Amino acid sequence: MVLELKFDSISELAELQRLAVQADKPVYIANEDDSIRVDARSFLGLFALDYSKPLKVITDSLYAMRMLEIQQRNRAAHMAHA
């Protein structure tokens, strides 16, 4: 499963890293053309990517995908109230 996301802060990266550690299957993050793909559990590896563009989160973990979708909805709701 692939979910395209835009990360706007270091705290969002930290959330992804924590989620990847808790996931029951590997979670990867890749740039748009898949030329760079890193294990999302590696906080240092996450800094190899260009965050000015949307990135792809790739995983077979239903838990991780559900949690990411919930986080995205919460961010959108927070932005709507700001």
Structure tokens at 34: 């898949």
Q: Is residue 68 exposed (0-12), middle (13-18) or buried (19+ Cβ within 10 Å)?
A: buried
The whole model's pTM is what? 0.85
- Identify the CATH number of the domain in which residue 8 sits: 3.30.1340
Parent domain of 41: 2-81
Q: Domain total for the chain? A: 1
Question: In this structure, is the dihedral angle defined by the CA atoms of residues 37, 43, 47 and 53, taken in order, positive or negative?
Answer: positive
Q: pLDDT tens for residues 36-80?
A: 999 999 988 888 898 899 999 999 999 999 999 998 888 888 778
